[in-house]
Chains A and B, each alone.
Chain A
Amino acid sequence: MASRKFAAFLFQKTFNSMKSTTVTSLNALPCATWCRLHVQPRSWVSGKKFSSSVPKPQKQTVKVTFILRDGSRSEVDATVGDNLLDIILEHDVDIDGFGACEGTLACSTCHLIFKQEDYDKLPSKPTDEELDMLDLAFGLEDTSRLGCQVIVTKDLDGMVVTVPQGVADARSGPL
């Protein structure tokens, strides 16, 4: 029963996605859709494989909301124990250029800003190496972290995280 429901859900999801891509003006599509259509998410090439058909054991999730550069909000069910880079990829939260070095502490493109109370609850303090990369990020704040280094815990349920503007966005505003 559950699996049939799941399939129906997927089917509906597909319809919705196809509906939008076939009958609306393609110019009007959100970036994310076009990204998926024509520039595949990079996780495909980074060697991650997603298992098919085997039902996953129920994982604990918490709500995390991202405030994107254009001011819009994206709420996801984040799996406890995952880092925020993986969560953003998993849920296709559309942030240009996010996670360029794929979580290897070599880029600072996964820069996120936390509320003070959430920042204090994060399970680990930033290492020197993380701070070194963070120092190169745009719009650095005292409660900045690199998303690839932040692991989600139960305590963080309801957390709201801001994706800072890049310098570029500040110059011309989102298109």
Chain B
Amino acid sequence: MNIIQQLRQTIQGPQLTWCIARAVKLSTKSFKKEIDLFHSIRYNFGKSFSSSGTFYSTSSSACQHVAIVGSGPAGYYTAQKLLKSHPDLVVDIYEKLPVPFGLVRFGVAPDHPEVKNVINTFTNTANSDRCNFFGNVELGKDLSLKDLRDAYTAVVLCYGAAEDRVLGIPGEDLPNVLSARSFVGWYNGLPQDAQLPVNLDCESAVVLGHGNVALDVARILLTPISILEKTDISEHALEALRRSSVKRVHIVGRRGPLQVAFTIKELREMTQLPDTRTVIQQTDVDGIDKYIQDLPRPRKRLTDLIYKSSVSPGEKEVKTWKEASREWRLVFLRSPLQILQDTNGQVKGIELAVNRLEGDSLKNQRAVATDEREVIHCGLILRSIGYRGLPLDDDLPFNNSRGVIENKNSRIKNEKGLYCAGWIGHGPVGVIVDTMTDGFETGKIILADIQSGVLESNDEHKRQGLLKSLQAKAITFSDWKKIDRAETEAGAKVGKPREKISDIQQMIQIAKS
């Protein structure tokens, strides 16, 4: 049988003519696009054929359905891998909120729109006819983990690290002592943090922690409004920042310049903030220059930038810093002891222990408190000392100290068909590329388990029943597109890329309209 005969058998006459006509008419690139469209139309026919066993040669093996819990980067990258490498597997993504993309929407800083370009890839994945999105569906409330496991070939938990670590010191529950995470949620329009009581009526703020989130919140506090108002920062935060009196932000860490956890891009941004001075005490970096040469490249460049910013900043920086009206200070070797309050119960400062470092390996040196004490006066304290995941289900094997689900290469310990990806499996560290490789890896592992027969195909009856029970409540991806449109339209009116809706009811209303 030649190609044309084969083709004639599988595609209808008009489709073939259409195909030839387009081929003649179009340039390679757009033609390819048309062909993909054609394939996807054909695929839809195929879907119905495949169940009767006449279309795919692989159709004797029943369809595989995978449920993913959480629609952040880990969820979408896992889905991408699964869909790409398996011809008829279907992915259902469940999300607690009515809107997708997790920390890309609610975590990435509004002045970093480039990072959010990943949403385009996620949207492509979501647009696949083998990928479904069910927003506004909460595991543990609207359905149980058991429901999912009964209905799917595999369940992948990608719900991130929801809780932040606390200091456990006196005064931590005072007003204006906030978790940096909630603060991020507040300026990013996360519904649960929209009402966060943030008071910026103070000159000085302290951020505890030396990670990227610490630099993010400090940067948002110091960035000129003229820049912020062109981002998708939430309106309530923008309003508060317009009236902010914060002029100085201290970023305080327990250890030294060789142990910081933030990355160089974020640090460089801080040193180049308009109208803002960088202050790093020379005594803090004295002597680290002799280690710099021997450090691995990323740490070497980072340490070098800290050192130079302190000892020999560039001409441009010197000029900006001289004229700046705001400043940020990188403070090392301090551990918080207690938060101090005035007679009205308002934060007035933080008492810190001065530390010294112990241990041989530079990277793993420990901070040990000395008897020396120090007070920084401030009216706002943001705690950014790490996140941790929550178990979600009591039966899950959970590592409480690390705040992650016990897993090996994404396979959850002793739980066949259950996987995890992203921060809930590996801890809240890393940037998008780390979560991406983790998601792809998880996808591969699941596919390998399908191929080796460890995973059986699911009970499609049960899945249909489950979906039916959620139908009224769930927000689909096309529902989300309505919200998306409403947000971008509202943003365009005020010169922002998007005006985020932070009220869940309002989201649902638009989605279901």
On whether the beta carbons of B129 and A38 are closer than 8 Å, the reply is yes
Contact across chains for B268 and A129 when beta carbons are under 8 A apart: yes
* B407 contact set on A, CB distance < 8 A: none
Binds A, one of B393-401, B442-450, B477-485: B442-450
- Contact for A45 among B26, B123, B297, B440, CB less than 8 A: B123
Partner of A101, one of B3, B56, B114: B114
In contact, A38 and B58 (Cβ under 8 angstroms): no
Are A109 and B436 in contact (CB-based, < 8 A)? yes
In the complex, chain B residues 59-112 whose Cβ is within 8 Å of any chain A Cβ: 77, 80-81, 83-88, 112
| Chain A: interface size category | 35 or more
Q: Which among A26-34, A75-83, A115-123 touches the partner chain?
A: A26-34
Stretch touching chain A among B33-41, B135-143, B196-204, B365-373? B33-41
| A37 in contact with B28 (CB, 8 Å) | no
CA A119 – CA B120 in complex, angstroms?
31
Q: With A45-B124, A53-B27, A175-B448 given, is the CB distance from A135 to B118 under 8 Å? A: no
* With A96-B440, A108-B433, A132-B265 as contacts: A40 and B127 at CB distance below 8 Å: yes
Q: How many A-B residue pairs have CB under 8 A?
A: 194
Q: Is B115 an interface residue (CB 8 A)?
A: yes
Cross-interface CB contact of A132 among B30, B40, B58, B301, cutoff 8 Å: B301
Known interface pairs A31-B85, A40-B36, A45-B124. Does A102 touch B117 (Cβ–Cβ under 8 Å)? yes
Contacts A100-B117, A106-B114 hold; do A15 and B437 have CB atoms under 8 A apart? Answer: no
**Contact of A107 with B58 at beta-carbon distance under 8 Å, contacts A22-B6, A39-B80 already known:** no
Is the pair B39, A128 in contact by a Cβ cutoff of 8 Å? no
Q: Can you name the residue of chain B whose Cβ is closest to the Cβ of A90?
A: B29
The answer to whether B77 and A172 have CB atoms under 8 Å apart is: no
A121 to B427, CA, bound (A): 41
Q: A22-B10, A27-B58 are in contact. Are A101 and B129 (CB under 8 A)?
A: no
Q: Determine whether B150 belongs to the interface, using a CB cutoff of 8 Å to chain A.
A: no
Contact check: which of B23, B43, B129, B438 meets A7 at CB < 8 Å?
B23
CB distance from A1 to the nearest CB of B (A): 14
Of chain A, the residue at the smallest CB distance from B30 is: A52
Taking the closest CB of chain B, its distance from the CB of A129, in whole angstroms, is 7
Asked whether B27 lies within 8 Å of A52 as measured between CB atoms, the reply is yes
Question: Is B281 located at the chain interface by the 8 A CB criterion?
Answer: no
What is the bound-complex CA distance between A135 and B301, given in angstroms? 8
Q: Judge whether B87 and A34 touch: CB under 8 Å.
A: yes
Q: Let me know if A59 is at the binding interface, CB within 8 A.
A: no
Bound: A171/B84 CA distance, A: 20
Complex CA gap A31/B43 in Å reads 16
Residue A124 at the B interface, CB < 8 A?
A: no
A-B contact pairs, 20 of them (CB 8 A): A10-B31, A17-B35, A18-B11, A19-B3, A24-B57, A34-B83, A38-B128, A40-B36, A42-B121, A51-B30, A97-B433, A100-B436, A106-B117, A107-B431, A107-B433, A108-B431, A135-B263, A135-B264, A136-B298, A166-B433
Please report B residues at the A interface, Cβ cutoff 8 Å. 3-4, 6-7, 10-11, 19-20, 23-33, 35-36, 39-40, 43, 56-58, 77, 80-81, 83-88, 112, 114-115, 117-118, 120-121, 123-125, 127-130, 263-265, 268, 297-298, 301-302, 409, 431-434, 436-438, 440-441, 444-445, 447-448
Which A positions have Cβ atoms within 8 angstroms of B? 7, 10-11, 14-15, 17-19, 21-27, 29, 31, 34-42, 44-46, 50-54, 56, 90, 96-97, 100-102, 104-109, 128-129, 131-133, 135-138, 140, 166-169, 171-172, 175
Beyond A39-B128, A167-B434, A172-B441, list 5 extra A-B contacts (CB 8 Å).
Answer: A11-B23, A50-B30, A133-B265, A166-B437, A171-B441
